[in-house]
Amino acid sequence: MTTDTSRLPVPLLATLVIFTAFAGQFWRNLLGWWGFGIIAGVVIVLSAVALMMLRPSLGWREVPKSALAFVGLSTLSLAWSFYPGASAIGVGIQLLSSVAAVFLGLCLSLQQLLKALSNAFRWILALSLVFEAWVAVVVGGPVLPFFVHYEGRIPQAFYWSRGLLLDGGPIEGIVANRNLLGFIALLALIVFALQLADRTVRRGWGVAWLVVAGAVLLLTRSATVVLAGALVAVVLAFVLWTRSRDPDRRRTVYAAAAGLVVVVTAGIMTLGGALLGVLGKSGDLTGRADIWAAVTGLAQQRPVFGWGWVGYWIPWVPPFDDLAVRKGVVYLQAHNAWLDVRFQLGILGLVLFAALVVSTVWRSWFLAVDRPRHGLDPVEPFSAHTLLPILLLAALIAQSLAESRILIEGGWLCLIAISLMTKSRGIHAPITVAASVDPRLQQSVPRG
C-alpha cells in the first residue's frame, strides 16, 4: 500500500521545532509546565512520525560517532548517578530532544534549515517586541509568568518581563531572559544576513529584519552576546580569507589564526578585569565565579565519571537545591557548559563532548571554505548558506563559556542537527525516500 505524504508540512514542522526549542520558556510561562509538556510532546511525536514516513537513508559511516558516544555515556550514567531519578528525567529529555534534532539534520537541506531558522527567529523577535510593548504601555510594570504564585519579596529574575522597553531595556522578551533573547537575536542576524547574501529573500524585507534583530540585541544589553558576536565576526573574517586562497596556500591563514588565539588568551589573562569593566560586568562575572568554584569542588569529588547526567539542573534534588544561590534565586546551570559536563559526566564525558564539538567544527569549517567538488574539479561556486554551520557553532561555543545552553533545548538541537548534517553525504542532494513514499517528495525534501 502506498502512503501519500506529498502534503507533509516538513518546513512548517521544522519551524515549530526550532521555535519550541529556543522559546520553551514562552510556552512554560504562558501555559505552565503541563501545557509546555503537551506542546513539546506533540513536537517530538510529529518529528518521529516525519522520520518514519520519510525514512532518510543513513549509513553507519554517516553517523557522527562522537555524538552517539556522548549520548550513550549520558544514558549509562544512570548506573552510577548520585540522583538516579533526576538523571532518568534528564536522559529522557536529552533523548527526546535528540529525536527533533535528528529530524532537522536528516530531513532538511542546509537551505531549508536556514529558512526554518529564519521563520522561527522572526516569530520570536516579533512576538518579543509586541509583548514588551504591551507590558510597557498597557500594563505599565513588571509581569510575572502565568500559573505561578510567589510570596514575599520577588527577585527580579522571576519576572517574565520587567517592562523596561520604553527605558531602553534591558528587555527579556517572550523567552523571559535577556541573555537568551540577545543570543537569539545574534543567531537571527547571522541567518538573515546569509539569506540576503544568497538572495533568497527580497532585499528590503531582509534588511528590515536585520534592523529588527540588531535593535533587539541592543535592547537586551547582554555583554555575553556582545562577546559571542565578536567571535562570530572573527570566524567569518577568517572563513572569507581562507575562501580567497587555494587549498595549498592557506598556511598563512592558519598561522594568523593560531597567533590571534595566543594574543587573545594572553590579553584576557592580563587585562581581564579591565575588559569586564568595559562590558559592565563585576569582577566575579555577576556571580559566575562563585558558581564555578562550587561546581568545580563537586566535580573533583567524582573526577572520572561525574555525578550523573541531568542536563538542566533540577531544583528540588540535592545538590542542586542549594548549589548556586544568588540574591534569593537558585540557578540551574553551571554557567559554563564545559564545567557542567565535567561535573555531570567527569573527565570521560568532557573528552567525548570536546570530540563532538571539535569534529563538528572541523567538518563545518571545510564545508564553509571548500567549494563542492566532483573528482578534482569544483562543481559550483561558493554559496553563503554553507557558512551557516560554522557561524552557528562559533556563536554556540562562545556562549558555552558563560552559559550551559548548548547542552539543552535550542543549543543541543543545533549542535546535533549540524553534526548530523555535516557528517551525512550529499548535503546538497535531495533526500532518498523509501519506495513506499510518494516520489513527489523526492523533489521537495532535501537530505541533510
Q: Please enumerate in sequence order all residues whose Cβ is within 8 A of that of 396, keeping only pairs 6 or more positions apart, or say none.
A: 406, 411, 414, 415
Per-residue confidence band for 345, with pLDDT thresholds at 50, 70 and 90: very high
pTM of this structure: 0.88
Q: What is the mean pLDDT of the chain?
A: 86
Question: What is the distance between the alpha carbons of residues 193 and 16, in angstroms, rounded to a whole number?
Answer: 22
Distance from C-alpha of 174 to C-alpha of 186, rounded to nearest angstrom: 16
40, 195, 32, 45: which is closest to 116 by C-alpha?
Answer: 195
3-class DSSP state for residue 105? helix
Q: Is the pLDDT of residue 9 over 90?
A: no
What is the mean predicted confidence (pLDDT) over 273-282? 52
pLDDT at 414 over 50: yes
Q: With CA atoms as reference, report the closest residue to 47 among 392, 406, 416, 310.
A: 416
What pLDDT sits at residue 244? 85
Q: Are strands 373-374 and 377-378 parallel, antiparallel or unpaired?
A: antiparallel
Average pLDDT over residues 387-415: 95
**Is residue 1's pLDDT more than 50?**
no
- β-pairing, 329-330 vs 373-374, is unpaired
If you average pLDDT over residues 334-346, what whole number do you get? Answer: 95
Rounded CA gap, 69 and 73, in Å?
A: 6
Residue 161, beta-bridge partner list: 143
Which pLDDT belongs to residue 8?
Answer: 59
Is the predicted pLDDT of residue 441 greater than 50, yes or no?
no
Q: For residue range 50-62, what is the model confidence (pLDDT) as tens digits?
A: 999 888 888 888 8
Query: Radius of gyration of the chain from Cα atoms?
Result: 22
- 3-class SS at 441? helix
All residues at 6 or more sequence positions from 446 whose CB lies less than 8 Å from its CB, including other chains: 108, 109, 111, 112, 428, 429, 430, 431
> Using one digit for the tens of pLDDT, what is the confidence trace for 34-46?
999 999 999 999 9
Say whether pLDDT at 428 is over 70.
no
Angle between helices 203-220 and 178-198 (to 10 degrees): 160
C-alpha count within 13 angstroms, C-beta hemisphere, residue 406: 25
Backbone phi and psi for residue 147, each to the nearest 5 degrees, phi listed first: 60, 30
Mean pLDDT of 356-361: 96
In this prediction, what percent of the chain has a pLDDT beyond 70?
Answer: 86
Cα–chain center distance at 261: 23
Kindly tell me if the per-residue pLDDT of 225 is higher than 90: yes
pLDDT above 90: residue 322: no
Average pLDDT over residues 255-270: 79
The pLDDT of residue 25 is 94
Q: Does the structure show a pLDDT above 50 at 4?
A: no
Residues 114 and 188: their CA atoms lie apart, in Å, by 10
pLDDT of residue 108: 92
| For residues 372-395, average pLDDT | 77
- What local confidence, expressed as pLDDT, does residue 424 receive? 78
Rounded Cα distance, 368 and 388, in Å: 8
Q: Which long-range contacts (CB under 8 A, 24 or more apart) does 300-305 make?
A: 302/82, 302/346, 303/346, 303/347, 304/346, 304/347, 304/348, 305/77, 305/80, 305/345, 305/346, 305/348, 305/349
CA distance 122 to 211: 12
d(CA 347, CA 304): 5
CB contact set of 375 (below 8 Å; sequence gap of 6+): none
Residue 370, φ and ψ in degrees, nearest 5: -110, 135
